Structure 1
Amino acid sequence: MCRAGFTDVTKVDVHGPDFRLPEGTELAYNIIHGTFGEDGTLQAILEERGVPYTGAGSRSSALCFDKSESKKVFLDAGVPTPQAEILDCSNGIVMPSLPLPFVIKPPCEGSSVGVHIVRRQEDVLPAMKEAVTHGTTVLVEEFIQGKELTVGILDGKALPVIHICPRSGFYDLSNKYPWMNMGGGTDYICPADLPEETAAKVQEAALKAYKAAGVEVYGRVDVLLREEDGAPFVLEINTIPGMTPSSLLPKAAAASGWPYEDLCEKIAELSLATPRK
């Protein structure tokens, strides 16, 4: 961070709402993924304390973290997204009515936790039972066969499309973080090897979703490109995407002429200029 022009930087390990920041903190650089850091909770605390922070605000963060709620916003805005149903299993498991194959996922988990691609009827109930261990609401989406893509967005502009190529299966926890569980791993192609017109369609769909959800500063939109006709389908928006030099958004930024240090500084500048409600 110092190389990016920040001369007085303090690392704060946040474990709950009572975290302490150094006196006179001018900007909290949020790089916490998942619950608390990406779901709007941390943002709301910082807003209450009057501390500027990086990235999306509390409302857009909470919306995007809940895939069932962001799905509704996508549909209302005409964003291309897989057909889906949201099942309330608070009084017991409700079986999906979509035709097989489909994807069962808990709506408020990241890193593909609890995600199951279901192709056989006998696998539906076990997948539903596992999904409800993460919460009583379950999102079921039609299965889209095709390329897994992601689009970074910075200051309202789409970065080059990245093609995510798992070495086996789909982009699940073991392929995202192979060092954690000796999984298969993933290759990333940036920019994706797509016709210019197709890449533009993917970026357009990602931007439409990003704007519909009201995301501020930057983010990353996951998109499936259907194999049969090249149609894009938005899955979700990551409001706190990985920000290590090897993470996906920095890869796309680098391909667009933004070195890592410049990207970090740009995010800080944009965030400081963004009003918080």
Structure 2
Amino acid sequence: MDKQLLIAVLMGGPGSEREVSLASGKAVLEALQGEGLNAVGVDVTTREINLPEGTGLCFNVIHGTFGEDGDMQQILEDMGVPYTGAGIESSRLAFDKVASKAVFVDNNVPTPVSEIVDCSAGAKLPEMPLPYVVKPPREGSSVGVHIVQTEEEAMSAMEDAAKYGDEVLVEQFVQGKELTVGVLADEVLPVIHIAPRSGFYDMNNKYPWLNNDGGTDYYCPADLSEDITKKVQDAALAAHRALGCEIYSRVDVLLDFDGNPYVLEANTIPGMTASSLLPKAAKAAGYEFGPLCQKIAELSLAERS
């Protein structure tokens, strides 16, 4: 890779995952510089992007709204500047849990049964029987997600999720192991078992440093049989391909007690600190963090040059 190429690491963003994105951006910037590349950090605070003159590639680590939903990708394409990761359409599809769910169903990707509830006139309960999971369709990092076990919990969960938009996604609750699978240039990385110390994998358990609360243990590779590992990896790769994700993604999967995988979603801008999940899996596959970041940059540049 041309060591003189100016790489702008886009981080922060105006969305709810700003602090997490800043951590990812700082880590990626240091990693690229550690590989001898000409990288600079750009803190994006609004929906306008001001790039340093001569930028040859944007390394996008803005998680969630704006960075991950296709909007930033559209702006960068209009500017004629190459960028890392998924393109406009695949970003929009993957970020919208309703749209991605439809793609999974159409492509026979195993995924929990779901119901879309129209809350435009106010929150209301789904027809699906308890227990279920309530989610805003267009938020990341488990923002607004609730596991509902009782009728008493149901309405408050729906009201909270409805704050983020008129549609609320309600999914069948699948009890079992929480897993995640990275995909890099169609190479499926080792499966990670996510084991929250309490509750489920929400913002507190993902990022305990944000609130000094929660915590999670990670096992990579996950302690699964060879057959189950392949089933999980095949489901993740099928989801990645069905959505048309370019370069890389991280696919979240639930594994029930009978060994059946259920794809929840694909993250097109996953966490990118050295201890984040995709880098953990990549390290288990032989990619140290610096070379991983450089590989994502190289693959993306080749895709969009």
TM range (shorter): over 0.9
Corresponding residue number in structure 2 for 1:101: 131
Corresponding residue number in structure 2 for 1:2: 33
Q: Give the Cα separation in 2 of the matches to 1:118 and 1:48.
A: 43
Corresponding residue number in structure 2 for 1:197: 227
Instruction: Please tell me whether residue 147 in structure 1 is matched to residue 177 in structure 2.
Output: yes
Structure 2 CA distance for partners of 1:153 and 1:100, relative to 1, 3 Å: same
1:267 deviates by 0.4
Corresponding residue number in structure 1 for 2:55: 25
Corresponding residue number in structure 1 for 2:285: 256
Q: Is the 8 A contact 1:149 1:224 kept in 2?
A: yes
Q: Is the 8 A contact 2:82 2:304 kept in 1?
A: no
SS of residue paired to 2:298: helix
Which residues of structure 2 form unaligned runs of 5+? 1-31
Q: Is the 8 A contact 1:146 1:224 kept in 2?
A: yes
Q: Is the 8 A contact 1:111 1:172 kept in 2?
A: yes
Q: Is the 8 A contact 2:120 2:166 kept in 1?
A: yes
1:162 equivalent among 192, 212, 234: 192
Deviation >6 Å, runs of 4+: none
After the TM superposition, which residues 75-90 of structure 1 pair with which residues of structure 2 at under 5 Å, given as runs? 75-90=105-120
| Mean CA deviation greater in 267-276 or 50-59 | 267-276
Corresponding residue number in structure 2 for 1:14: 44
Corresponding residue number in structure 2 for 1:173: 203
TM-score normalized by the length of structure 1: 0.96
Q: Give the Cα separation in 2 of the matches to 1:268 and 1:9.
A: 11
SS of residue paired to 1:149: strand
Q: Is the 8 A contact 2:236 2:251 kept in 1?
A: yes
Corresponding residue number in structure 2 for 1:226: 256
Give percent identity, aligned residues only: 62
Q: Is the 8 A contact 2:124 2:155 kept in 1?
A: no
1:16 deviates by 2.1
Corresponding residue number in structure 1 for 2:268: 239
Q: Give the Cα separation in 2 of the matches to 1:81 and 1:18.
A: 36
1:17 deviates by 3.1
Q: Give the Cα separation in 1 of the matches to 2:284 and 2:54.
A: 36
TM-score normalized by the length of structure 2: 0.88
Instruction: Please tell me whether residue 34 in structure 1 is matched to residue 51 in structure 2.
Output: no
Q: Give the Cα separation in 2 of the matches to 1:76 and 1:91.
A: 30
Cα deviation 1:3-38 (Å, max 9, x = unaligned):
2231x2221111223221111111001011111111
Q: Give the Cα separation in 1 of the matches to 2:274 and 2:191.
A: 17
Corresponding residue number in structure 1 for 2:155: 125
Q: Give the Cα separation in 1 of the matches to 2:183 and 2:233.
A: 9
Cα deviation 1:58-92 (Å, max 9, x = unaligned):
11111111111100110010000000011121123
SS of residue paired to 1:48: helix
SS of residue paired to 1:162: strand
Q: Give the Cα separation in 1 of the matches to 2:80 and 2:99.
A: 27
SS of residue paired to 2:111: coil
Q: Is the 8 A contact 2:255 2:261 kept in 1?
A: yes
SS of residue paired to 1:187: strand
Which residues of structure 1 form unaligned runs of 5+? none
Q: Give the Cα separation in 1 of the matches to 2:273 and 2:212.
A: 21
Q: Give the Cα separation in 1 of the matches to 2:115 and 2:159.
A: 17
Q: Is the 8 A contact 1:5 1:265 kept in 2?
A: no
Instruction: Please tell me whether residue 271 in structure 1 is matched to residue 293 in structure 2.
Output: no
Cα deviation 1:29-60 (Å, max 9, x = unaligned):
10111111111111110000000000001111
Corresponding residue number in structure 2 for 1:54: 84
1:260 deviates by 0.9
Q: Give the number of aligned pairs.
A: 274
Q: Is the 8 A contact 2:114 2:171 kept in 1?
A: yes
Q: Is the 8 A contact 1:151 1:160 kept in 2?
A: yes
